[in-house]
Structure 1
Amino acid sequence: MAVYISVVSHNHSEIIEQLNCLPHLSEEFNVIVKLNRKEEKSYYNRYTQLHILDEQYDIGFGHNNNLVYSYCKKHLGMQPSDYFIVLNPDVFITVTMITNLVSLMTKNNVKIGAINLYKDMNYSIYDESVRDFPILLDFVMSFLGYGNKTVVNKSEIKKPTIVDWAAGSFLVFQSSHYSKLGGFDECYFMYCEDIDICYRSSMINESVVYFPNIKAVHLAKHSNRKLISKHFYWHVKSIVRYLLSKKKLTSKKSLLECDGF
């Protein structure tokens, strides 16, 4: 099977060049960089094996990745048994780690997976990228600065384990499963689309499997969430959509189970 890696850049060429991860990955896998804004392409042009999609700007995270998925199917020959990886431009991962991940997923028939992200190159500080499904109170407490009890303690997990959801900074899907889910919900512009797709997957009995021994570095810079910021507005809007969608999906599944399906 083949591996296809989707990277969405919002003027991220500087960090992409700094990490210099994509050229190495493109030697073994299909790497597609989707530009969401006009940006300098001199770095990308050095590596002819990189696929650059330079169109349809200022659209959401999910919409961008869905476009890449469609491009992989229509133009690069992606097959149902192949793997589709959503990778943030500020994540550094090696070819070996991805190869090992795909091998584990194939061996254990895993349809959607997540890995162990760290905040530093020494792999000493965990990124809080694996969590339980949140309820409204969890969002409120987090915004008020009281912490987030949904964060999973990675130090306690030593082997592949089912989790509720993992951050979209790195998610991997078997191609057929991504298609079955309909990809990301494009009504989310930013925030919660990763929770949503993981929840929808769990509703069809394909939960996220977290692989603690597959490691990568996520050099995240969190956006401003002040009350007057657009990021706060996007976040609140996404929270409302997620909570309403979750309620609807849960009710629908309950009705189907009562009817004997």
Structure 2
Amino acid sequence: MTIYLSIVSHGHDHLIKEMGCVDNFSEQFKIIVKSNKPNENFDYFSDKRNITWINDLYYKGFGENNNIVYQYCIDNLGINNDDYFIVLNPDLYIDSDVIYNLVSKMEDENVSIAAINLYKDEEKKVYDNSIRKFPNLMDFVKSFLGLGNDAVLDKNLIKEKYIVDWAAGSFLAFRSEHYKSLSGFDEGYFMYCEDIDICYRSKNEGEPVVYYPNFTGLHLAKHANRKLFSRHFYWHISSVFRFLLSKSGLVKPKSSIIAK
């Protein structure tokens, strides 16, 4: 059993080097860093045998980038059905032991998709709202209007392993066979809601997301502004409608993954 880590960089080359996580990961896991912008510099990976840098196919969406990485693992790295494929953001600081212990727990408990407890601060006092209920249209509307978000789960109330509707794509761990069975992320989303969608489809296949609160990481997120008429606002609105239509069976997932 091998663990593959998919990290998509949007000009995060300096941050990735500064944080040093990837260097530490390379001792235990196979890491694939995918640049989504040209002119990044990951040459310092050249002497690391377990790190692959994909430096083409720029300006793709979050889901498509991770599908490209997974397809690369199929075509070039020999990923097997019983391996694990973990999607994690470049601005996520996590200890390699957390990843190894999480996958060991997934293996022991036959879990196909899992999430961990993310914080916004090193002192672990401020939760990242990374686990939620599936949203409906009113949840989206209230969130956009700044009226709160009833879909957010209170992590203070969750002390043990817990089934959640969905977890943020900043960290999602999949059994490789399961990621393949889902055809990965729906590439019809460019940004936003693709994590909701894949968790929704997974639950429909009988594999809900398992949240492990005792495995933790630090998420240094800088959320893009979603003010009216911005690109991010457009992406978010279009993704919301795609998810709602998908739930109704009116839209089918798109994927470039070709299983072999």
The structure where helix makes up a greater share of residues is: 1
In the alignment, is residue 9 of structure 1 matched against residue 9 of structure 2? Answer: yes
**Partner residue in 2 for 1:30:** 30
**Partner residue in 1 for 2:183:** 182
**Partner residue in 2 for 1:60:** 61
Shift of 1:46: 5.6
Whole-angstrom distance in 1 between the partners of 2:138 and 2:16: 36
Matches within 5 A, 1:46-125: 47-49=47-49, 50-125=51-126
Whole-angstrom distance in 1 between the partners of 2:18 and 2:229: 32
Which digits, 9 at most, give the CA deviation of each residue in 1:116-160, with x for residues without a partner?
Answer: 000011222110000000000001000100111111111111111
**Partner residue in 1 for 2:257:** none
SS of the residue corresponding to residue 248 of structure 2 reads helix
SS of the residue corresponding to residue 69 of structure 1 reads helix
**Partner residue in 2 for 1:253:** none
Amino acid corresponding to residue 245 of structure 1 in structure 2 = S
Return the TM-score normalized by structure 2: 0.93
Matches within 5 A, 1:161-176: 161-176=162-177
Whole-angstrom distance in 2 between the partners of 1:137 and 1:99: 39
Q: Are the aligned partners of 1:23 and 1:47 in contact in 2 as well (CA < 8 Å)?
A: no
Where structure 2 has 5 or more consecutive residues not aligned to the other structure, the ranges are 251-260
**Partner residue in 2 for 1:205:** 206
How many residues are paired up? 249
Amino acid corresponding to residue 160 of structure 1 in structure 2 = K
Amino acid corresponding to residue 217 of structure 1 in structure 2 = L
Whole-angstrom distance in 2 between the partners of 1:52 and 1:44: 11
**Partner residue in 2 for 1:128:** 129
Shift of 1:48: 2.5
Where structure 1 has 5 or more consecutive residues not aligned to the other structure, the ranges are 250-261
Amino acid corresponding to residue 142 of structure 1 in structure 2 = S
Whole-angstrom distance in 2 between the partners of 1:159 and 1:230: 39
Whole-angstrom distance in 1 between the partners of 2:211 and 2:241: 27
Matches within 5 A, 1:153-164: 153-164=154-165
Shift of 1:20: 1.2
Q: Are the aligned partners of 1:117 and 1:126 in contact in 2 as well (CA < 8 Å)?
A: yes
Whole-angstrom distance in 2 between the partners of 1:136 and 1:163: 19
RMSD: 1.1
Shift of 1:21: 0.7
SS of the residue corresponding to residue 142 of structure 2 reads helix
Whole-angstrom distance in 1 between the partners of 2:45 and 2:179: 30
SS of the residue corresponding to residue 217 of structure 2 reads strand
Could you list the structure 1 runs, at least 4 aligned residues long, displaced by more than 3 angstroms after superposition: 42-47
In the alignment, is residue 235 of structure 1 matched against residue 236 of structure 2? Answer: yes
Amino acid corresponding to residue 209 of structure 1 in structure 2 = V
**Partner residue in 2 for 1:40:** 40
Q: Are the aligned partners of 2:26 and 2:48 in contact in 1 as well (CA < 8 Å)?
A: no
SS of the residue corresponding to residue 28 of structure 2 reads coil
Return the TM-score normalized by structure 1: 0.93
Shift of 1:227: 0.8
Give % identity: 55
